[in-house]
Structures are given as structure tokens and as C-alpha cells.
Structure 1
Amino acid sequence: MAALTGTFTVQMTPAAPLPGAASRFDLVKTWSGDLDGTSRGTMLTAGDSAGGSAGYVATEIFEGRVGGRNGTLTLQQLGTMTAGDPALQYVIAPGSGTGELSGLTGTLEIGEIDEDGVHRVTLALD
């Protein structure tokens, strides 16, 4: 299993809500490092984030390079927070890769988030 590192910044824009979600956001991420490119997607949220208990799902399509290989792939996230305790699953959707990223699978872990909003990540490839 290979491990790649990188960073991303995210721009989130409120969008029209959908049934079953408290809020909806369109997102654009700029990736650097071993993951280099741009992703665009949608996030749906529900719960009481101000009270420390909420959840979200997000899907985004990444276009760029992963470990020097070019193509696109889809990233999926499931995040929850219960009484302030966060849990996150962040994966490459199986079968979503194109070009040189075809067949790529793995999980992404978000480490430190800098004060300026830079997220440091590790991608573990299967």
C-alpha cells in the first residue's frame, strides 16, 4: 500500500437546500503535493452543529494528478460529530477513476488543519 501526502484548501458556497438536508453547499478544492489538481462537489448537512452533534455527506470529482498519474476520480465523504467527537470516512469511490487513475482505490485521512485553512492529508492507496 502506497501513502501519498498533500494539502487542499476549500471554498464552500451555500446552495439551495434539498429535502432531507438542513443545508447544502457547493465546494471547490485546490489540491497540492502528491495530489495536484482541483475538485468540485456538493455537501449536504443535517443535525445541530452548534450543539456539537451533526453529520454530512459529500461527493466531489477530482481532476489532476495523483502520484504523477493523470485523470479524474470521485471522492466520497461521510462525517459525523456526536457531542463534539468527530468521525470521518473519506474514500475514492471504487470504479470512478479515469485515464491513468483508472482502478485506483484508497482512503484519505485529514490530519492537521492550519489556521489559514490548509488541510494536510494522507492518501493510502490499496
Structure 2
Amino acid sequence: MSAATGTFTVRPRADMPAQTTSAQTIPEIGQLRLDKHWSGDLRGQSVVEMLTFMTPVEGSAVYVAIEIVQATLSGRQGGFALFHAGVSERGSQSLTYRVVPDSGSGELLGLRGELTLEIVDKVHHYTLEYTLPSP
């Protein structure tokens, strides 16, 4: 298992599509599209498509997302997808980031891994623990 560390920045996309039918009929569901810029051991760009649900209880919410990454990892270029699931229960949070199985392309074919996130002073610090087949 190898580890990649660094930071990423996030910004909302200007080209957010119109809300889906479910988001229009269930106002508690939010939809976001974000751009990310990755720095450090993983360098590149990604697009995140996210659905959120906020409860009436402060500090309780959930989100799910799919992220498409184009980047260089350990000197190998390619793409892959990440799956996110975040749950906040009255302020207590848990977050899962996983590489979608068999989503690697280019030189990242066969990538497997999980990412952990720590936010310090509003800066997103990641650690991606991963495996890659030998080239």
C-alpha cells in the first residue's frame, strides 16, 4: 500500500445543470457541481457531482457524490472515479472516499484505494492510501 498526500481546493461550477426531477419535487435535496484542483502527490483536476439532504435538526445532514479525476499519481497519468458519502449527526461527522472499483484509466488502470480528509484552517488536506499494479 502506498500513500499520497497533499491538498485540494474546491469551487462551485458556473455550468451547474438544472435541478433533476427528484430535486424539484423534494426541496430538501440539493444538487451541486464542483471543480477541484489537486496538489501534492496527486496533481490534477476533477469534477464532483453531489446530492445533499439537510434535516431540520442543526448539524444533521448527508451527502453523496461521484467525482471524476484526471491527474498524475506517482508519475503515472490517467483518470479514475471517487465515490463520497458524508454523514453529519448533530455535528458528529463521518466521511468515506473510495476509488470506484475498475474506474482507473490510462496509466492508473487497476488503481484501488481510500482517501481520508482533514480540514485545517479551511485548507483541505488529503491522504490517499492506494495500490497500483506494476507498470
Give the structure-2-normalised TM-score. Answer: 0.84
Counterpart of 1:53, as a letter, is S
Alpha-carbon distance, 1:28 to partner: 0.3
Deviates more, 1:90-99 or 1:5-14: 5-14
Q: Which runs of 5+ in 2 are unaligned?
A: none
Is residue 91 from structure 1 mapped to residue 93 from structure 2 by the alignment?
no
Q: Does 1:5 align with 2:5?
A: yes
Between the aligned partners of 1:50 and 1:84, the Cα distance in structure 2 is 10
| Residue equivalent to 2:19 | 17
Question: How much does 1:99 deviate?
Answer: 0.7
2:78 corresponds to which of 46, 71, 78? 71
Looking at CA atoms only, which structure, 1 or 2, has the larger radius of gyration? 2
Q: How many residues align?
A: 124
8 Å Cα contact 1:11/1:27 also seen in 2: yes
Identity %: 42
Q: Distance in 1 between matches of 2:77 and 2:10?
A: 21
For 1:1-126, list aligned pairs within 5 A: 1-13=1-13, 16-18=18-20, 19=22, 22-48=29-55, 51-115=58-122, 118-126=123-131
- Aligned residues of 1:27 and 1:42 also touching (Cα < 8 A): yes
Q: Deviations over 1:51-91 (max 9, x none)?
A: 11100001111001012110000011000001110001101
Q: Which consecutive unaligned segments of at least 5 residues does structure 1 have? A: none
User: In 1, distance between residues paired with 2:3 and 2:33?
Assistant: 28
Q: CA deviation at 1:12?
A: 2.1
Describe the SS at the equivalent of 1:101.
coil
Aligned CA-pair RMSD: 1.8
Q: 1:16 touches 1:24 (CA, 8 Å); kept in 2?
A: no
- Tell me the alpha carbon deviations over residues 35-57 of structure 1, each in whole angstroms, 9 at most, x when there is no partner: 00000121100122771110000
